[in-house]
């Protein structure tokens, strides 16, 4: 059994998407849109409207004379229905 959701991807661009009720996750490479929809709905208790997936190529890195490559991964952009939100992404500024 594969774990569909690996981790949330938090960046400046992804944080701006949160205002549009869109959240970005790194998902298992073999996961399809339906599996991602079910995983997000069951884990966070929200209603998902749409899921978009894309395969991201790993970047090439150079450290001195050594050349390496980060692994490829798949990410999913999940759009929630109106009025829904995931509290995991909300900042707790005190």
pLDDT for the residue 67: 95
Cα–Cα distances (Å) from 77 to 2, 28, 40, 55, 68, in that order, read 19, 13, 11, 12, 28
User: Is the pLDDT at 92 greater than 60, yes or no?
Assistant: no
The CATH number that applies at residue 62 is 3.30.70.330
pTM value surpassing 0.85: no
Asked whether residue 88 is domain-assigned, the answer is no
Average pLDDT over residues 80-89: 85
Asked whether residue 89 is domain-assigned, the answer is no
Which one, of 9, 4, 1, 30, lies nearest residue 77 by Cα? 9
Average pLDDT over residues 41-60: 95
- The mean of the pLDDT values for the chain is 90
pLDDT tens column, 13-47: 988 998 899 999 999 999 999 999 999 999 999 99
Domain range for 36 is 5-83
Asked whether residue 37 is domain-assigned, the answer is yes
Our count of domains for the chain comes to: 1
Q: Please say whether the beta carbons of 5 and 39 come within 8 A.
A: yes
User: Is the pLDDT at 1 greater than 50, yes or no?
Assistant: yes
């Amino acid at each position: 059994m594969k774990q569909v959701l690996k981790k949330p991807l938090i960046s400046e661009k992804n944080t701006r998407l949160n205002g549009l009720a869109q959240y970005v996750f790194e998902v298992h490479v073999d996961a399809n849109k339906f599996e991602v929809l079910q995983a997000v709905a069951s884990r966070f208790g929200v209603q998902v409207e749409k899921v978009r997936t894309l395969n991201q190529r790993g970047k090439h890195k150079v450290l001195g004379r050594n050349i390496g490559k980060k692994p490829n991964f798949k990410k999913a952009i999940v759009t929630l229905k109106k009025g829904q939100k995931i509290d995991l992404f909300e900042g707790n500024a005190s």
